Amino acid sequence: MTPEAGANIRRLRVDHDGADRFRIAIRDHTLVVDQTVADGGGDSGPTPTELLVAGLASCVAFYVRRFLARHELPVKGLSVTADFGMAAQPARVGEIRLLVHLPADLPPMRRAALLAVAAHCTVHNTLLQPPAVSIELAAPVPASA
């Protein structure tokens, strides 16, 4: 699958930056991922697993904010806290708990609808209905002379 294969295909790139550190290029943005010192890394950025959970939490926050704005409700104080636990065999995130902190003056009658909207964010939908994932090896890059 390549970006040319369909208008909905997007691309990002991950390049090795030394030890366990990698740079991620997404559009005009650069992020760094690393492993914690305890896991042998330099802790110069979040781990890929933390980015996965952060992606979910920020997607939920984005959907909640859009809901609040669409209904002309206050957004001040909106935040999302994420707790997650690891599982083994295979190594993976085994559990994620998101806590949406809502503005103090949100009408109680809006809570159920807001929760439904949050539960349908794109990242959450993706985790519930996983995409087909393929991992392939590119042609080797010749060593510099």
Query: So what's the pLDDT on residue 46?
Result: 99
Per-residue pLDDT of the chain (145 residues; tens, 9 = 90+): 665 556 789 999 999 999 999 999 999 999 999 999 999 999 999 999 999 999 999 999 999 999 999 999 999 999 999 999 999 999 999 999 999 999 999 999 999 999 999 999 999 999 999 999 999 999 998 887 5
CATH number, position 117 = 3.30.300.20
Residues 28 and 77 in one domain: no
d(CA 5, CA 106): 44
Q: Spell out the SS3 assignment of the chain.
A: CCHHHCCCCCCCEEEECCCCCEEEEECCEEEEECCCHHHCCCCCCCCHHHHHHHHHHHHHHHHHHHHHHHCCCCCCCCEEEEEEEEECCCCEEEEEEEEEECCCCCCHHHHHHHHHHHCCCHHHHHHHCCCCCCCCCCCCCCCCC
Residues 59 and 94 in one domain: yes
Residues 9 and 56 in one domain: no
* Host domain of residue 55: 47-130
Nearest by Cα to 102 from 111, 93, 89: 111
Is 139 part of any domain?
Answer: no
Is 25 part of any domain?
Answer: yes
Intra-chain end-to-end CA distance of the chain, in Å: 32
Residues 55 and 33 in one domain: no
Is 14 part of any domain?
Answer: yes
Residues 97 and 112 in one domain: yes
Residues 22 and 86 in one domain: no
Residues 26 and 5 in one domain: yes
Residues 69 and 38 in one domain: no
Q: Which letter, b or e, does each residue of 45-76 get, where b requires 16 or more Cβ atoms within 10 Å of its Cβ?
A: bbbeeeebbebbbebbbebbeebbeeeebeee
Residues 70 and 126 in one domain: yes
Residues 66 and 17 in one domain: no
